Amino acid sequence: MTLIPMSWSRVLSPLLQPLRWLVRRRWLREAEVDAVLAWLQPGWRLNRVFARVEGREWVAEDMLALRLRCNGNARGWRAGQHVQLYLQLDGVRHSRSYSLTHVGRAGRIELAIRRQPGGRLSNRLLDHLPVGALLELGQAQGELCWPQESTGVVLLAAGSGITPLLGLLREALARGFTAPISLLHYIREQGQRPFVEELQQLMQRHPNLSVRWALTGQVQSDAELQGRFSAEHLQGLALDSVLACGPAGFVETVAQHWRGPLQVEAFTAPERSVEPGSAVRLGFARTRRQVTGDSARSLLEQAEAAGLRPAHGCRQGICASCTCTLLSGTVRDLRNGALFAEPGQLIRLCISAPASDVDIDL
């Protein structure tokens, strides 16, 4: 039963400030307030973001655009950022990070989701999520931004890396950006070109925009580019700023070939060799588990190997879903080797390896 529409909950959201104040001071419990709000409107919460599915559109053979309308707690979001999407499957809460390809008025957003071989959450959303369903989202994060003062922007995308760049591109053109823009999108096959009709229309309306696709898994004579990214693909482009998004190997290759202003975002963790490491004691305080681990693998990997199910998302230190409190011991950041040993410090399990015996609040 729905007593008030979703749009009313957005309008009424600012009136909840006194309740938020009381919750912050622990005079009220947020879960109890949320239960009353959800009774009035299933998508209404005090602080958490819920969104109703308003539309689905296939934009490539393997990619779906999902149009959502959020409650009033999605504030300050920008196209090009990413949000964590939560869904319970078979009694287990799963999550995955998706980019915002559009942020409109009245809480309307668009996400683009690509089919993943063996992907449990993404494929369930693609095949079974109906219009009208209610989803929970995390708050938007991400630092990619449009280089407004640039005299020539090159966007380099591989696979679903097109999604944040498309969001930024749409907004830049809508604001009247007139400097040259070149978008190079690397996909395996012709049918995997998402938003191709829209991009072609944008090229017709904006002479400063050019879009080219490179096929990396299929040879085709009329393709403008062939193969994976190389420095030759940048030749002849009006080039001042580069934004690149794709797998870690792709953005690393771009960084090797372009020394100017560069923004990158990788949606896979960089490959790293795993040394045997030394034996350490891992203490998981909440579950009262003590296991023998090693100093080489991430705490997330070792917690999962011990049978625990810590919350996680991107597995590369971006989404912060696996953030946990370090109670004692020293951990090492796997990306840069930095050591952290302050009790009470927040660490991300997916990029932290134990450098000594450790206890964490898990």
From CA 86, how far away is CA 138, in angstroms rounded?
A: 8
Place of tokens 């053979």: 61
User: Does the domain made of 153-266 have the CATH classification 3.40.630.10?
Assistant: no
8-37 in b/e form (b: 16+ CB < 10 A) is ebbeebeebeebeeebeeeebebeebbeeb
Chain mean position to CA 337? 24
| Residue-level pLDDT, tens digit, the chain, 362 residues | 677 888 888 888 889 999 999 999 989 999 999 999 999 999 999 999 999 999 999 999 999 999 999 999 998 999 999 998 998 887 777 888 899 999 998 899 999 999 988 888 899 999 999 999 999 999 998 889 999 999 999 999 999 999 999 999 999 999 999 999 999 999 988 888 999 999 999 999 999 999 999 988 766 656 567 788 888 888 888 788 999 999 988 999 999 988 889 999 887 766 666 666 788 899 998 888 889 988 888 899 888 888 888 887 777 777 777 888 888 889 888 877 888 888 888 888 888 899 889 999 98
Place of tokens 């625990």: 308
Residue 336 has a pLDDT of: 78
Residue 211 has a pLDDT of: 94
From CA 281, how far away is CA 187, in angstroms rounded?
A: 44
100-128 in b/e form (b: 16+ CB < 10 A) is bbbbeeebbbbbbbbbeeeeebbeebbee
Q: Is the Cβ–Cβ distance between 325 and 346 less than 8 Å?
A: yes
Chain mean position to CA 317? 11
CATH of domain 6-141: 2.40.30.10
95-115, pLDDT tens digit by residue? 888 999 999 988 999 999 999
Residue of 39, 34, 43, 33 whose CA lies nearest to 7: 43
Burial tier of 232 (Cβ tally within 10 Å: 0-12, 13-18, 19+): exposed
Give the CATH superfamily of 279-360: Beta-grasp domain (3.10.20.30)
Q: Is the Cβ–Cβ distance between 88 and 309 less than 8 Å?
A: no
Structural domain spans, the chain? 6-141, 153-266, 279-360
Write down the pTM of the prediction. 0.79
Q: Facing residues of 265 across strands?
A: 245
194-226, pLDDT tens digit by residue? 999 999 999 999 999 999 999 887 666 565 677
Count CB neighbours of 341 within 10 A: 13
User: In the β-sheet with 279-284, what is the strand arrangement from edge to edge?
Assistant: 289-294, 279-284, 358-360, 323-328, 346-348
From CA 43, how far away is CA 310, in angstroms rounded?
A: 26
Total length of the chain: 362
Residue 113 has a pLDDT of: 95
Residue 89 has a pLDDT of: 82
Residue 320 has a pLDDT of: 74
